[in-house]
Chain A
Amino acid sequence: MTLGGQYGTVAVMVVFGAVLYAIIMLLNRLMRPSVPSPLKLSTYECGVDAVGSGWSQMNIRYYVFAFLFVIFDVEAIFLFPWAVIFGDLTSSTTPSALYALVAMFLFIATLLEGLAYAWRKGVLRWE
């Protein structure tokens, strides 16, 4: 199957999913009783009345975690091409297997030093 054909399948799936969703929601709407009340629109918080609004200020510690997530996400992206070619590498190919291995581990080790820094400075602690 050609590439376009494969995406055609995906497109059909997407359209089919959307239509199915629309039909089910439509059926739902037709069959359910409609009794609106303000209580139904309030936030459900384990049965207890909600305190304040959902827009509260967050702790900056979340930011550090989100940032580290981005950093290591990018690292993972670099791992993919490496993993794909690594199986075909031997000592006689260009690049050689050892070279690719060392290069990747240098990369990871450098990032780990950054992580060690964050850990040592206590931003990963949650107290």
Chain B
Amino acid sequence: MAIDFGALGPEIALAVTALVVLAADLSLRGPAKQLVNPVAAAGTVVAIALTLRLWGDERSTFGGTFVIDSLALTFKLLFLGTLLAVLGISWRFFAEGRYFQGEYYFLIVTAFLGMVLMPSARDLLTLFVALETVSIPAFVMVGLRKRDLYSSEASLKFFLIGVLSVAIMLLGMSLVYGFTGTTSLTGIAEAIAATQTPGSETPLLLAAVLLIVVGFGFKVSAVPFHFWAPDTYAGAPMPVTAMLAVASKAAGFVGLTLVAFAAFAPLAGAWAPVLGVVALATMTVGNLGALQQRDVVRLLAYSSVAQAGYILLPFGVARGGTDALSLAVNQTAFRAVLLYLVAYAVMNIGAFAVVIGVARRSGLRATADYAGLGARSPLLGGAMTVFLLSLGGAPLTVGLWAKFAIVEALTVDVTAFGLVLAAGLVVNSVIAFFYYLRLIRGIWMEAPAEGAPVPQPGFNLSLVVVGLAALTVVLGVLPALVTDTTSVVTLALGR
């Protein structure tokens, strides 16, 4: 069996980078340790180049457990781009904090190695190991500020709930394997289609599917498995929070998408309504929670719970049939998820970058501290406004098109449930706008507090903020840049 090493290029590049970063940490001393950041960034750039070289290819290796297709490559690029942004906002934070730099960069590259592998995995086992490679470094990274009790609490909560969810998911996966005799996602779909009659599925199989979905529910912090999110986000070092809120969550969604649409599509009649209801509950709870927050990090945490609800919505209308209409519904739903994840990554990383820029040196992160930010730092204030408007889904930002794609997915075939979900999205967007606009009003309309410091973002952080803000607006004006790319992404199943 020949291994297609070319197809593995991005993963190999990241794995080598991670190991080199660790070795560099062991050999460098004192201030020279900061050099691990550029090393990690260089490795990421190599991985991006290798990904671009594969663009347009359709390959598979390791007996079909690893697949390169448009879906995999799009997400790989998204994750690698996110990694670059996270490295950019981490530079000052960890260089000034001077704690566990080498460890941090090793862990973050490893976590992204898992994410990059995730969209290529077409096998439950590979998918599971990839998911663990995302989670386990995150447990450690959240707790890196050992002397800070909040960080330890955040890490412990995250760890316990994460491990519980993994145990539940594994139970489901082993049952599915026992039932179908294969771990290949397509194999599972074939086995289910061959043995199950719609409407009278075996309870065992439905229970297994539900267990797996619940496991992913923890990963994407869907209600009722969202309790860890605000505490963990607030306690973790802020670049780690940005990583968790965006990349880790996106990886969870990629896994859920693969499992749901590739393996369990024939059972959509069972899981789609469950996920639809979960989506409604998630966005409502997230938005109502965000309304009451006085800490910007917690506000963004609840907001990201709500955003997870939006992304879950298209799953609610998925269908199990194989007729043209069902396939069209699934395809549109899948594309909406993809588009929203891209938009979400751009605007949410940007928002966290601004928060890091403001909190740097001063440690200020209450909503009241953002009063008059626009006057003190037009760059950060302006960028934050763009990101918040986009998160809310205002015109001229990418957020609007992302929400539009979801509404489109919900109404491909008009059903009562689809309309309920769409109505929930609209109502929640209005609630969300309330707290986003409140923060924006503070930034521009209110006078800064007496002696409020002027934020001085570093060069890397400014670059990331400006780049992401520009991307938010450019994609908002010219959505075709994303929609054209994503429209070529079909839900190609494993071979």
Contact = CB atoms under 8 A, between A and B. Distances in A.
Do A and B have CB atoms closer than 8 angstroms in the complex? yes
A116 B1 CA distance: 34
Contacts of A88: none
Contacts of A94: 1
Contacts of A120: 26
A95 interface: yes
Interface in A74-127: 94-95, 99, 110, 113, 116-117, 120
B11 to A, nearest CB: 13
B26 A116 contact: yes
Contacts of B26: 116-117, 120
Query: Chain B, interface size: which category?
Result: under 10
* Top 3 A-B pairs, shortest CB-CB distance: A120-B26, A94-B1, A113-B22
Interface string B468-481: 00000000000000
Contacts of A99: 3
Interface of B: 1, 3, 19, 22-23, 25-26
12 contacts: A94-B1, A95-B1, A99-B3, A110-B19, A113-B19, A113-B22, A113-B23, A116-B26, A117-B22, A117-B25, A117-B26, A120-B26
Nearest to A103: B3
Main secondary structure of the interface of A (DSSP, over half): helix
A38 B25 CA distance: 58
A117 B23 CA distance: 8
Contacts, number: 12
Main secondary structure of the interface of B (DSSP, over half): helix
A47 B129 CA distance: 54
Interface residues of A, number: 8
A31 B382 CA distance: 92
A110 B110 CA distance: 13
A95 B26 CA distance: 35
B16 to A, nearest CB: 11
A110 B22 CA distance: 11
Contacts of B22: 113, 117
B372 to A, nearest CB: 45
B37 to A, nearest CB: 18
Contacts of B3: 99
A116 B3 CA distance: 30
A122 to B, nearest CB: 12
A99 B25 CA distance: 30
Given A99-B3, A110-B19, A117-B25, 7 more contacts: A94-B1, A113-B19, A113-B22, A113-B23, A116-B26, A117-B26, A120-B26
Contacts of A113: 19, 22-23
Contacts of A117: 22, 25-26
A32 to B, nearest CB: 50
A99 B3 CA distance: 10
B407 to A, nearest CB: 47
Nearest to B27: A120
Contacts of A116: 26
A117 B1 CA distance: 35
A21 B3 CA distance: 57
B40 to A, nearest CB: 16
B28 to A, nearest CB: 11
